[in-house]
Chain A
Amino acid sequence: MSLDTGSDLLSDVDLTWVKRKELLFHVLLFSAAMFGVAMLALLIFDILIETAYGVLILGIDVGTFLTSGASRTWEQAGLLPAIIGSIWLVFLTLILSFVLGVSTATYLEEYAPRNRTTRLIEANLTNLAGVPSVAYGLLALGVFVNGFRMGEILLAGALALSLLVVPIVIVASQEALRAVPDGMRNGSLATGATRWQTIRGVVIPSALPGIVTGTILALARAIGETAPLIMVGAVLEARSTPDPTSLFGSMPTMIYYWAFRPVTEFHNLAALAILVLLIILVGMYGLAFFVRNHYETRV
Chain B
Amino acid sequence: MSTDTDHGLEITGDVADDQRRDRRIRRFLFGCTSITVLTTIAIFAVLFDNTWGFFFDATFSQWVRTSVLNLGVEGLTQRVSFIEFFTDTEWRPSHADDPRYGIPTLLAGTLLITVGAAFLAIPVGTAGALYLSEYASVRTRKYLKPTLEILAGVPTIVYGFFAVSFVTPVLLRPLLEIFGLSIGRNNALSAMVVVGVMTIPMVMSISEDAMNAVPDELRNGAYALGASKYSVSMNVVLPASISGVFASYILAVSRAIGETMAVTLAAGATANFTGNPLAEVQTMTAYMVTSARSTALVGSITYQSLFAVGLALFLITLVANLVNDYVKRRYREVYQ
> What would 6 more interface pairs be, CB under 8 Å, given A103-B33, A270-B161?
A21-B230, A33-B204, A126-B321, A139-B46, A141-B306, A231-B292
Q: Does B313 contact A (CB under 8 A)?
A: yes
Question: B123, B130, B149, B260: which contacts A134 (Cβ < 8 A)?
Answer: B260
Q: Does chain B have a CB within 8 A of A40?
A: yes
Provided the pairs A103-B29, A195-B22 are in contact, do residues A138 and B265 lie with their beta carbons within 8 angstroms? no
B170 (CB) vs chain A CBs: closest residue: A46
Stretch at the interface among A74-82, A178-186, A271-279: A271-279
Is A213 among interface residues, defined by CB-CB distance under 8 A? no
What residues make up the interface of A, taking CB atoms closer than 8 Å to B? Answer: 18, 21-22, 25-26, 28-30, 32-33, 35-37, 39-40, 42-43, 46-47, 50, 99-100, 103-104, 106-108, 111-112, 120-121, 123-128, 130-139, 141-143, 146-147, 163, 166-167, 170, 192, 194-197, 217, 220-221, 223-227, 230-231, 233, 236, 252, 255-256, 259-260, 267, 270-271, 274, 277-278, 281, 285
Contact B128–A36 (Cβ < 8 Å): yes
Q: Does B19 contact A (CB under 8 A)?
A: yes
Residue of A nearest to B160 (CB): A259
**B64: interface (CB < 8 Å):** no
Smallest CB separation, A70 vs chain B (Å): 15
Complex CA distance for A192 and B18, rounded to whole angstroms: 10
Complex partner residue of A135 from B28, B47, B128, B136, CB under 8 angstroms: B47
Interface residues of B in 12-32 (CB under 8 A from A): 15, 18-19, 21-22, 25-26, 28-30, 32
B78 on the A face (CB < 8 A): no
Q: Is the interface of B mostly helix, strand, loop or mixed?
A: helix
Quick one: given A29-B131, A227-B260, are A104 and B32 in contact (CB under 8 Å)?
Answer: yes
Please determine whether B322 and A35 come into contact, CB atoms closer than 8 angstroms. no
- Partner of B49 from the list A104, A141, A142, A236 (CB cut-off 8 Å) is A142
Whether B325 contacts A139 by the Cβ 8 Å rule is no
- Min distance, Cβ A16 to any Cβ of chain B, angstroms: 12
The 0/1 profile, CB within 8 Å of A marked 1, for residues 250-274 of chain B is 0100110111110011000000000
User: Which listed residue (B151, B254, B255) contacts A39, Cβ 8 A?
Assistant: B151
- Collect the chain B residues with CB atoms within 8 Å of residue A259's CB: 157, 160-161, 164-165, 265
B109 on interface, CB distance cutoff 8 Å: no
- Give B219-275 interface residues, CB cut-off 8 Å to A: 228-230, 233, 251, 254-255, 257-261, 264-265
Are B254 and A138 in contact, CB atoms less than 8 angstroms apart?
no
Q: Are B39 and A32 in contact (CB under 8 A)?
A: no
A138 and B46 in contact (CB under 8 A), knowing A33-B131, A130-B254?
yes
When the two chains form their complex, are residues B260 and A226 in contact, meaning their CB atoms are under 8 A apart?
yes
**A224 touching B131 in the complex, CB below 8 Å, given contacts A43-B162, A134-B258:** no
Whether A252 contacts B40 in the complex (CB less than 8 A), given A104-B29, A132-B285, A194-B22, comes out as no
B128 touches A46 (CB 8 A): no
Q: Are A281 and B153 in contact, with the CB atoms below 8 A?
A: yes
- Residue in A103, A112, A136, A197 whose beta carbon sits within 8 Å of that of B43 in the complex: A136
CA–CA, A137 and B112, complex, Å: 24
User: Does B314 have its Cβ within 8 Å of any Cβ on chain A?
Assistant: yes
Is B289 close to A, CB under 8 A? yes
Contact B130 A29 (CB under 8 A): yes
Contact assessment for B314 and A43 in the assembled complex, using a CB-CB cutoff below 8 Å? no
Residue of B nearest to A13 (CB): B226
The docked-state distance in angstroms from the alpha carbon of A137 to that of B261 is: 13
A123 touches B325 (CB 8 A): yes
Let me know if A138 and B307 touch, CB within 8 A. yes
Q: Is B166 an interface residue (CB 8 A)?
A: yes
Contact between A166 and B158 (Cβ–Cβ < 8 Å)? no
Residue of B nearest to A221 (CB): B153
Please tell me if the beta carbons of A33 and B150 are within 8 angstroms of each other in the complex. Answer: no
Are A134 and B310 in contact, CB atoms less than 8 angstroms apart? yes
Is there an interface contact between B26 and A196, defined as CB atoms closer than 8 Å? yes
27 A-B residue pairs with CB within 8 Å: A22-B229, A35-B128, A42-B162, A43-B162, A43-B166, A46-B162, A111-B26, A111-B29, A121-B33, A121-B36, A132-B257, A133-B260, A134-B313, A135-B47, A135-B258, A138-B306, A141-B292, A166-B39, A195-B26, A231-B292, A252-B261, A255-B157, A255-B161, A256-B265, A259-B161, A274-B158, A274-B161
Tell me if B156 counts as interface (CB < 8 A to partner A): yes
Min CB distance B5 to A, Å, is 20
Q: Which of A30, A252, A256 contacts B135 (CB 8 A)?
A: A30
Q: Are A139 and B42 in contact, CB atoms less than 8 angstroms apart?
A: yes
Knowing A46-B162, A128-B36, A196-B26 are in contact, say whether A135-B144 is a contact too (CB < 8 A). Answer: no
Q: Which residues of B contact A100 (CB under 8 A)?
A: 32, 35-36
Contact check, A33 vs B228: say whether CB atoms are below 8 A apart.
no
Residue B155 interfacial (CB < 8 Å): yes
Chain B residue with minimal CB distance to A103? B32
- Complex Cα distance A232/B247, Å? 32
Partner of B165, one of A50, A120, A126, A260: A50
Most buried by B among A104, A112, A126, A227: A227
